[in-house]
């Protein structure tokens, strides 16, 4: 429970640094996101309610949105998934999503420090000032690859017609 305090204080300091009040709702959301990276709002609500049962869904949406704007959290939206949140910000890491089971893994960028941040514009295109480059790898994780090669092992959860 003492390591908890460290985290609490660190988050509290960050909140104050951004001119935000330190509320138990924000602390609960931050702790929940930290403990469950790559989670949607609903899961964060459930996790945060473990320590703050009266927390409401709206508060989670508001807090997540605000903290994302402050860059204390990072949001990304994989295809066919609600938005996911994580506390790992500031680096420009990317994400790999298994299109079969939905598992998400962090991927450090291969290309130096600011990867893919310099798109190659057409002649006629008016270049934008790029701020971030979200790279979303989609593939099949090892577990799903195996269970697809052994179709006998597969329950009836997702069979193609």
Position 21 contacts DNA (CB under 7 A): yes
Position 35 contacts DNA (CB under 7 A): no
140 CB neighbour count, 10 Å cutoff = 13
Helices 2-17 + 24-35 axis angle, to 10: 120
Nearest distance, CB of residue 87 and its own copies, angstroms: 18
Radius of gyration from C-alpha coordinates of the chain: 19
Nearest distance, CB of residue 92 and DNA, angstroms: 22
How far is 23 from 11, CA to CA, in rounded Å? 11
Q: Which one of 7, 8, 14, 20 is in contact with DNA (CB under 7 A)?
A: 20
Q: Which one of 42, 51, 91, 105 is in contact with its own copies (CB under 8 A)?
A: 105
Give per-residue burial for 30-58: e unless 16+ CB within 10 Å, then b. bbbbbebebbebebbbebbbeebeebeee
Q: Which is nearer to DNA, 123 or 158 (CB)?
A: 158
The site for DNA (CB under 7 A) is made up of 16, 19-26, 40-42, 54-59, 61-63, 65-66, 77, 80-83
The site for its own copies (CB under 8 A) is made up of 75-77, 79, 83, 94, 96, 98-99, 105-111, 115-116, 118-122, 125-143, 145
């Amino acid at each position: 429970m003492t390591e908890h305090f460290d985290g609490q204080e660190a988050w509290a300091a960050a909140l104050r640094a951004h001119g935000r009040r330190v509320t138990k709702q924000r602390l609960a959301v931050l702790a929940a996101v930290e403990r469950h990276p790559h989670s949607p709002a609903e899961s964060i609500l459930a996790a945060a309610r473990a320590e703050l049962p009266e927390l409401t869904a709206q508060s989670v949406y508001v807090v997540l949105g605000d903290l994302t704007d402050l860059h204390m959290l990072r949001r990304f939206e994989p295809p066919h998934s609600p938005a996911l949140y994580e506390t790992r910000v500031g680096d420009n890491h990317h994400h790999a999503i298994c299109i079969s089971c939905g598992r998400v893994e962090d991927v450090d960028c291969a290309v130096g420090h600011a990867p893919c941040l310099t798109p190659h514009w057409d002649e006629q295109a008016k270049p934008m000032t790029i701020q971030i480059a979200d790279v979303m790898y989609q593939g099949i994780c090892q577990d799903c690859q195996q269970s697809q090669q052994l179709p006998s092992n597969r329950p009836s959860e997702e069979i193609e017609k």
